[in-house]
Chains A and B, each alone.
Chain A
Amino acid sequence: MSKFPLWKYLLILGAVVISFLYTIPNFYGEVPAIQISSLRSSVIISDDTINAITQNLQKSGLNPTGEVFDGKTLKFKFTNTDIQLKARDLIQQTLGDNYVVALNLISATPDWMSNINASPMFLGLDLRGGVHFLLEVDMDAAVKKTMNKYVGDIRRDLRNNQIRYGSVAVDNDSSILIQLRDVVTVNQSIQQLSKDFPKLSTSIEGTNIRVTISQDEMQVIKEAAVKQNILTLHNRVNELGVAEPIIQQQGPDRIVVELPGVQDTARAKDILGRTATLEVRMVDDDATALSQAQSGNVPSNDQLLDEVNNDGSSSKILVKNDVELTGDNINDAQAGFDENGSPSVNISLDSTGAAIFKQVTGDNIGKRMAMVLVDHGKSQVVTAPVIRSQIGGGQVQISGAMSVQDANDVSLLLRSGSLAAPMNIIEERTVGPSLGEENITKGFHSVLWGFIAISIFMCIYYRVFGVISVISLGVNLLLLVAILSMLQATLTLPGIAAIALALGMAIDSNVLINERIREELRNGQKPHTAIESGYEHAWATILDSNITTLIAGLALLAFGSGPVKGFAVVHCLGILTSMFSAVLVSRGITGLLYANRRIKKLPI
C-alpha cells in the first residue's frame, strides 16, 4: 500500500478545521435585536446618532448587550424580548420618522466570528415564519399608463407652444392620434414634437398626426415598470418596518417579496398591492352635463365619479378626463390636520409638479379642481375646492372625509411612490412562527436518527472500516453545513431533506469501497494490496454514479422554483462534498491506521 501523501492530510485537516469554524455559528442560537436603518439616502446613521441612542437606552436601564454596525444598518442586541420591545419604542421616539426601526432576531455569534463572515445559515420562511408573495405586474396597464402620460405631455407641449389642436387621445395599443385643423399646424406640430419627444415616431394622416411608440420603446417601458414597482415595494416594505426583506425580480414580469417574521399578512398584502395614486383633474361644472351624466349619458371628455362628503355620504361629481398632474410628481406626503382639525394629507410637489400646478391654477381661477385618489382600482374625489388664486410653491393640502388611519395610509402610499402598474398576487405562502420551529425540530430529528441508524449498522457490518465510513460521513455533514453557511444559502425544509438524502446516498461510496476491499481479500490479495486496489477500482464507479446523480441535481436547479430550488442546491453540494469525504477522508484515515503496520487480517 503506497503512502498517502502529506499534502493530502494537510488538505483534509485544513478543510475540517475551516468547516468546523463556519459550522459553529449555527449552534449559537439567536438573540432579540433591534435593527435601525435610514429611510432616505440623505439621512445617514452617524456616530452621534449611535451615541444618542446608546445614552438614551442606558438612561432608561435598557442596556443593549452588543451592537453591530455595517455602515448602513445598526443593530442592538438585547437579553430578552421584553426589553427589546421597550427599547424599540424608545428608539423610535429618539429618532423620529426618518428611520426604520424594526424588531429582529440576530445570531448570538461572538464578534470575532462575525468578523471572518462566519454566520449561521439563513433560514427560509418555512423554518422561521413569515410571508412570501409572488406578484405579477400587469404590463398592459403599465403601457396604458405610459400612453396616457404621453397624451398629457403632448397636450401640454402643444399648448405651451401655442399650437391649437382638436384632440389628443390614445388610439390603439401603441399609438396616439392628434387631430389638428390644417396642414400648417400639422407641420408646426411635427417639428415641435420631434424636437421635444425624440423617442417617438410621427406620421401624417391628412390633418391628423399619428404618434407611434416603437417595440423597443415598449420594451423599455415594460422593464422600467418592473423596476419602478420594485423600488416602490422597497419603500413600502421599509415603511412597514420589516427586518431583512427580500424583493427580487423573477422572470420578465414577476416580483418575489419575502417578509420574514411578518404576522399581519392582511395589512402587508394591502399595503404592497395598493396602487394608490393622486390625480389632479378639473371639474366639469356644467349643470346640464351633470344631470345628463347621472341619467347615464356621460359626455365623452368627462368621467362621473363619487365625491365623499364630510359626513361619509357620497355624491356624484363630473370630472374631466384630462389628468393635469399625477402622484409621480410628489416629493413628500405627510399625514396631518387641516385648520378645522380634520385629518389631511399634506403634499409637497417636486419642481416640475410645482410648475404645472402653478400653471393649472393660474389658468383656471374661479373653477373647481378635483383631487382624485385612485386606490384599490377605484377613482374617488377626495375634495374639489374652488381655485381662488394662482398657487405656487408646490405645497398642497388635501382634506375631506378621511379617518386618521386613511390619511396615514394614503400619505404612506403617496410618499413611497406610486406603482408603475398594478400587480396581482399570484402566489402566497404564510408560515406561522410555531410551524417554523416545528419544522426545524422535525428536520433535525430526521437527519439525526437516520445518521444514528446508518452509523450503528455500518459499525457492526464493516467493523473498523465501518467506523472509518461513519467518520467520513460525519465529515461530509460538517463540510456540507459549512459550505451552506459560507454561501449564506437559504435553508428550507426541503433543504434539510436534501441534507438527509445526501447523507443516505453518500454512504454508497463507502459501501462500494468496503465491498471492493472484501472482494479483493476473497480473491486472495494481501491486506495492503486489497485496500490499495479496493480504493482504486471503486473510484471509477464512484465518479460515474455521482455524475449521473449530479445531472439530476442540476436539472432540478435549472428548472425548479421555490422549495425545489432549495432542495436542489443542497443536493448538488452534497454530491460534491460526499465525493471529497468518501474518497479522500476515508482513504486518509485508512492510511493513518494501516500504512505503517504489518497486518495479517483486516477487520472488515
Chain B
Amino acid sequence: MEFFKIKKDIPFMSYGRLTTSISLITFILAIFFLVTRGLHLSVEFTGGTLMEVQYSQAANVDEIRDDLSKIGLDQATVQTYGSSKNVMLRLPNKPGINTSTLSNQVFQELKQTAPDLQLKSVEYIGPQVGKDLINNGLMAILFVCIGIMLYLAIRFEWRFAVSAIIANMHDVVIILGFFAAFQWEFSLTVLAAILAVLGYSVNESVVVFDRIRENFRTIRGGTVPQVINNAITATMSRTIITHGCTEMMVLSMFFFGGPSLHYFALALTIGIVFGIYSSVLVASPLVMWLGVSRENLVKVKKRKEEAVV
C-alpha cells in the first residue's frame, strides 16, 4: 500500500509568499491572544492550592462555594470534572492565611455537609516555587534553542540553524497562542510537551535539510528552488506517515490518559500539526531566502590541497 505516488516535484517554493502570509497571520493572532488574554497558568506557576474531592452523589457546586466563603475563601474556584461527583477546588494563595494547613481546614468544612467525602488529591504550591518554575522553564527553552542551533550550525550550516530555530519558535508561539485563546490550563506537563515538540519538529526540519544537502551533491545543474522542491517531495511521504503514527499515540493519550494528560496531548497535537507545516513550508523558504547555495554545503576540497602545497 502506498498513499503518495508523486511523479513530479511539487513546486513548494513558489508558494512561498502564500505560506509565509499564513504563518505571519497565525503568528500575529497567537501574539494577540497571548497579550490580550494571557496564559491560564496552573497552580504550579501561580502558587495556591488545588484540591480534588469526590462526593458519593452529584456535588452541589453552589453549596460548596457557600461553605468556602464561610471560612473566608470567596475567591475559590469550584468546578466539576470528569463526572458530577468529582469536584476540583482552586484556592489562591492569600497573605494572612496559613496555606500549609488550608487544605485540611477546607476538607473538614466540606465534610460537615457530606460525611462520606473523599480526598483524592491535594497540590499546594507556595509563591516562592512558582517563580523558580517560570525561570527554569525559560532557561530550558533558551538551552534547547542554543543547543539545537549549535548542533545544526556544526552539522549543516548557519543558514539552516537560523531557519530551523525560527520555524520552531514560531510553532512554540502558536501553541502558546492556542492555550491563551481557549484559556486551556498551562501546566508543567504542557511545558514538557512543548519542549518535547520543539526537539521533535526540529528533527522534521533536519530530515528535509539532510535531503537538501544530499540533493546538492547528486542533482547536478538544478536551481536552488528545484533542489529544495525535490527534497520536500521526496521526504513528504515519510513526514506524513511518521507524524500520523506519533499522532495516533498522542490521541491514545488524549482519549485514555484522563484529565492529567489531556492538555499534554493537546499541546503535542498542535505541535505536531504545525511542526509539519513549519518545517516544510517555513524553514525551507527561509533557507532559500537566506541565500543557501551548493558551495555552502558541498565543500570543494581542491583549494585546501593547493594551499598546503
Contacts and interface: CB of A to CB of B under 8 A. Distances in A.
Interface string A409-451: 0000000000000001111111110110011001101110111
Interface stretch (B30-38, B175-183, B219-227, B245-253): B245-253
Nearest to A553: B199
Given A511-B242, A563-B188, A453 B248 contact: yes
B199 A541 contact: no
A265 B203 CA distance: 45
A428 B210 contact: no
A112 interface: no
A219 interface: no
Contacts of B18: none
B125 interface: yes
A564 B237 CA distance: 33
Contact of A461 (B120, B241, B251): B241
A425 B121 contact: no
Contact of A559 (B137, B242, B258): B137
A443 B199 contact: no
Interface in A238-276: 265-266, 269, 273
Interface stretch (A4-12, A63-71, A499-507): A499-507
B148 interface: yes
Given A439-B258, A439-B260, A494 B192 contact: yes
B295 interface: no
B234 A519 contact: yes
Interface stretch (A27-35, A78-86, A395-403, A542-550): A542-550
A548 B246 contact: no
B19 interface: no
B144 A430 contact: no
B246 A508 contact: yes
A21 interface: no
A551 B136 contact: no
B interface: dominant SS: helix
Interface string A26-45: 00000000000000000000
A134 interface: yes
B124 A564 contact: no
A interface: dominant SS: helix
Given A500-B253, A515-B241, A432 B120 contact: yes
Contacts of A494: 189, 192, 264
B199 A552 contact: yes
B191 interface: yes
Interface in B212-245: 214, 234-235, 237-238, 241-242, 244-245
Given A458-B245, A504-B245, A540-B210, A134 B129 contact: yes
Interface string B261-288: 1001000100000000000000000000
Nearest to A499: B249
Contacts of B144: 551-552, 555
B198 interface: yes
Given A454-B248, A461-B241, A265 B122 contact: yes
Nearest to A132: B123
A551 B118 contact: no
B100 A269 contact: yes
A273 B100 CA distance: 10
Contacts of A447: 252
Given A439-B260, A442-B261, A564-B191, A432 B252 contact: no
Given A428-B124, A511-B238, A558-B140, A504 B246 contact: yes
A512 interface: yes
Contacts of A562: 188
A561 interface: yes
A359 B133 CA distance: 53
A564 B191 CA distance: 8
A546 B140 CA distance: 18
Given A552-B144, A558-B140, A559-B136, A504 B195 contact: no
Contacts of B207: 512, 541, 544-545
B259 to A, nearest CB: 9
A551 B260 CA distance: 25
Interface string A366-409: 00000000000000000000000000000000000000000000
Report the contact-size class of chain B (Cβ under 8 Å from the partner): 35 or more
A515 B257 contact: no
Given A430-B121, A504-B248, A497 B264 contact: yes
Interface string B102-135: 0110000000000000111111111011001100
Contacts of B198: 552
B143 interface: yes
Contact of B256 (A431, A442, A504, A511): A442
B189 A497 contact: yes
B68 interface: no
B195 A556 contact: yes
A443 B248 CA distance: 15
Nearest to A557: B140
B125 A427 contact: yes
Contacts of A540: 210
A518 B256 CA distance: 35
Given A450-B253, A457-B245, A541-B206, A548 B148 contact: yes
Given A537-B214, A561-B132, 13 more contacts: A429-B123, A431-B120, A446-B249, A446-B261, A450-B248, A454-B248, A497-B253, A500-B249, A508-B203, A518-B2, A548-B151, A548-B206, A549-B196
Interface of A: 126, 134, 136, 265-266, 269, 273, 424-432, 434-435, 438-439, 442-443, 445-447, 449-451, 453-454, 457-458, 460-461, 463, 493-494, 497, 500-501, 503-505, 507-508, 511-512, 515, 518-519, 537, 540-541, 544-556, 558-564, 567-568, 571
Interface of B: 1-2, 52, 99-101, 103-104, 118-126, 128-129, 132-133, 136-137, 139-141, 143-144, 147-148, 151-152, 155, 188-189, 191-192, 195-196, 198-200, 202-204, 206-207, 210, 214, 234-235, 237-238, 241-242, 244-253, 255-258, 260-261, 264, 268
24 contacts: A134-B129, A266-B101, A269-B100, A424-B126, A426-B128, A428-B100, A428-B103, A446-B261, A453-B248, A454-B245, A457-B248, A493-B260, A500-B253, A501-B253, A508-B203, A515-B241, A541-B210, A548-B202, A549-B196, A549-B202, A551-B144, A558-B143, A564-B188, A571-B196
